Amino acid sequence: MKSILARSLFLLTFIILFSACAEKKKKRVLNLPETDLASENMIPKPLRVIPTNKGFALDKFTTIYTSGNSLGFAEVGEFLAKKIKGKTNLDIPVNVDEVPDQEGIIYINQSDSLELNTPEAYQIYITQDSIILNSNTAEGAFRGIQTLRQIIPETSIDTITEYNVWNIPTGKIIDSPNFEYRGSMLDVARHFFSVKDVKKYIDILAYYKYNVLHLHLSDDQGWRIEIKSWPKLTEIGGSTEVGGKAGGFYTQEEYTEIVNYAAKHHIMIIPEIDMPGHTNAASVSYPILNGNGKTPKLYTGMQVGKSTFDTRKDTVYTFIDDVVREISAITPGPYFHIGGDESHVTKKNDYIYFIEKVEKIVQKHGKRMIGWDEIGQADIDSTSVSHFWSSKKNALDAIKKGMKVIMSPAKKAYLDMQYDSLSKHGLHWAAYIPTDVGYKWTPENYEGIPKENILGIEAPLWSETISNIDELEYLAFPRAIGYSELGWSIEENRDWENYKVRLANQAPFLERMDVKYYPSPLIDWKKSKYSYKEIEKE
Ligand code: ACM
């Protein structure tokens, strides 16, 4: 009640202030050129766009106001102001009471409207005088300001006034996500990526309304997160990577820095410790864990399926309990990913025994278990989640148990698959995935997995063939932009011919962000500072 009252008072003050300012002096009437909100290059495409063909002048007289502080709305306003500064160099005040010459207002408002039917739903009303963004939650407001960022023109008009004006098209946007889970995965185990690299990846994902970053933190070639009770994991297991160079790892403080940075972008981090296979780095660090009968050695190759924990040893479960406890304590999100894929040297009954025991450990530490689709073979709880990558049968078995499924079919959604046979990086064991193939599939209706069982989609980026941020960006972009639309926009709103024009117009943003995307020849990229050939030469 108190907060509703506070909010109403705030809104009232804002209206009074705004009207007072408007009366004090004659309002500017800017003769802005006609615009069309419906033909803006928004990705993912919003649910509904109703244009009114006038213009809101974003300029040095614009001010941002938000609902009260405690809800995270002020932070969303500050974030928007920072991004407007980056794009236009305008300094837009946020929640400042007395702004002289204030003209246009962007109001980011907490609304309890029933029309906003999911936490991420938002509506934007743009008129010549104001932009009002309504959402139930700061998360929804954050998604909404990404849309606003996308409709600020790349260039200003400087012929109407002596200062620059960015002409934002008027109209109404009504939007909410198709799937609640929209993720990407980054494999920091095969090659290690710095905190800085991960933050840059988060910046781009957030712009396209992703809400999950899954970090693949351990594999045969490397263990990448400090576990205080088992220090050799990073000392030994973190020491190298594919190709044999020095690896690396996140201290718990650095991991927390990533979690917090992601949270500011309303993105949840999901940690993955892959087991009982993909565990060579752990077993080299602590040979007592090993179950494949060989003396473990550091591994810097690219093969899979040779390692396993000893699933019948109590020490293994003491170890897993410590690892899950320490990571869960610094992971605010509800999920813990246990891998579970490609355990080719684990006997089937040992595998099932293992997954069932690990599920209990994950639950004991307050998390829901996610595992690659193989976990569907075990007798596990409906609250656990199957991560479909390869086996339709495993995913359908999981559904029979009442489990939800995350869609990452390797043939369609793996970001590490090459675009074509000329791609500089990537593999093609599942498929070549050109930009159009990555976009033209229907997660709602794939391999007979019913939509009501689908939590959402995720685009995994495995890192056997990439070792720095430029290479990461080459594989991730532009395809990850298409997956954002598959996750957010309803099927009726998705169309390759329409999408590819909007994608072409992402070039200025990607270049401003210094993203070394693959300039797919299928796309008529908006005038860009480099050509495909120049990139190939790099
Ligand atoms: C996987 O690609 N092994 C999940």
DSSP lists the bridge partners of residue 367 as none
Residue 528 has a pLDDT of 60
- Of 18-32, 136-150, 401-415, the one with minimum mean pLDDT is 18-32
| 214, 274, 278, 341: residue to mutate for ligand 1 pocket, most atoms within 8 A of CB | 341
Q: What is the edge-to-edge ordering of all strands in the sheet holding 130-135?
A: 48-58, 166-175, 122-126, 130-135, 105-110, 63-66
Q: Which 8-state DSSP code applies to residue 530? A: S
Query: pLDDT band at 21, cuts 50/70/90?
Result: very low
Cα(235)–Cα(226) distance, rounded to whole angstroms?
A: 9
Question: Before 478, cis peptide (omega within 30)?
Answer: yes
The pLDDT value recorded for residue 531 is 43
Note the pLDDT tens digit of each residue in 492-506: 999 999 999 999 999
Taking CA atoms only, the protein residue closest to ligand 1 atom 2 is: 389
Atom 1 of ligand 1, nearest CA residue: 341
pLDDT in tens, 124-181: 999 999 999 999 999 999 999 999 999 999 999 988 888 999 999 999 999 999 999 9
Q: By the 8 A CB rule, do 311 and 351 touch? A: yes
Single pTM value for the model: 0.94
> Is the confidence at residue 387, as pLDDT, over 90?
yes
Q: What's the CA gap between 485 and 44, in Å, rounded?
A: 4
Confidence (pLDDT) at 97: 87
DSSP assignment of 251-289, as one string? -HHHHHHHHHHHHHTT-EEEEEEEESSS-HHHHHH-GGG
Does residue 110 contact residue 73 with C-beta atoms inside 8 Å?
A: yes
Q: Is the pLDDT of residue 5 over 70?
A: no
Q: What's the pLDDT score for residue 514?
A: 96
- Residue 462 CA: nearest ligand 1 atom is 2
The answer on pLDDT for 244 being more than 50 is yes
Q: Which of 372, 405, 433 to mutate to test the pocket of ligand 1 (most atoms within 8 A of CB)?
A: 372
Among residues 270, 39, 266, 268, which one has the least CA distance to residue 146? Answer: 266
Q: Where are the domains of the chain?
A: 2-175, 181-512
Each residue of 276-327: pLDDT tens digit?
Answer: 999 999 999 999 999 999 999 999 999 999 999 999 999 999 999 999 999 9
Distance CA 368, CA 378 (A): 15
Q: Model confidence over 470-521: pLDDT tens digits?
A: 999 999 999 999 999 999 999 999 999 999 999 999 999 999 999 999 999 9
Q: How far is the CA of 317 from the centre of ligand 1 (A)?
A: 23
| Dist. CA 389 → ligand 1 center (Å) | 6
One-character DSSP codes across 480-497: HHHHHHHHHS-GGG--HH
Q: pLDDT tens for residues 249-268?
A: 999 999 999 999 999 999 99
Indicate the DSSP class of residue 412.
H
Task: Tell me how far CA of residue 484 lies from CA of 181, 306, 488, in angstroms.
Answer: 10, 34, 6
The token duo for 317 is: 């479960």
Q: For all residues of the chain together, what is the average pLDDT?
A: 93
Residues 6+ apart with CB under 8 A from 275: 218, 282, 309, 320, 338, 339, 340, 354, 358
The closest alpha carbon to 278, from 220, 238, 221, 317, belongs to: 220
Predicted confidence (pLDDT) at residue 460 exceeds the cutoff of 80: yes
Instruction: Give residue 103's pLDDT.
Output: 86
Instruction: Please give the residue that has the higher pLDDT: either 399 or 102.
Output: 399
When pLDDT is cut at 50, 70 and 90, the band that residue 110 belongs to is very high
More confident residue, 8 or 213: 213
Instruction: Count other Cβ atoms within 10 Å, centred on residue 31.
Output: 6
| CA dist., res. 441 & res. 461, Å (int) | 18
Main-chain dihedrals φ then ψ at residue 202, nearest 5 degrees: -60, -40
pLDDT of residue 199: 98
Pocket of ligand 1 (CB under 6 A): 341-342, 372, 389
Q: For the domain covering 181-512, report its CATH number.
A: 3.20.20.80
Quote the pLDDT of residue 13: 53
Distance 215 CA to ligand 1 centre (A): 13
How many other C-beta atoms lie within 10 A of the C-beta of residue 397? Answer: 17
Using the CB atoms, write b or e for 273-306: b if 16+ within 10 Å. bbbbbbbbbbbbbbeebbbbeeebebbbeeeeeb
Query: Which residue's alpha carbon is at the smallest distance from atom 3 of ligand 1?
Result: 341
Give the per-residue pLDDT at 536: 34
Q: Name the residue of 185, 187, 275, 342 whose CB sits within 8 Å of the most ligand 1 atoms, as the mutation to test its pocket.
A: 342
User: How far is residue 78's CA from residue 135's CA, in Å, rounded to a whole number?
Assistant: 16
Give the rounded percent of residues in the chain with a pLDDT score beyond 90: 88
- Burial of 33 (C-beta count, 10 Å sphere; 0-12/13-18/19+): exposed
% of the chain with per-residue pLDDT over 70: 92
pLDDT given at position 498: 98
Domain 2-175: which CATH number of 3.50.50.60, 3.30.420.10, 3.30.379.10, 3.40.50.10310: 3.30.379.10
Residue type, 489: S
CA of 303 relative to ligand 1 center, distance in Å? 12
Q: What is the DSSP string of 13-79?
A: HHHHHHHHHHHHSPPP---PPP--GGGS--SSPPSEEEEEEEEEEESTT-EEEES-GGGTHHHHHHH
**Nearest atom in ligand 1 to 410's CA:** 2
Which of 381, 273, 383 lies closest to 336 in space, CA to CA?
273
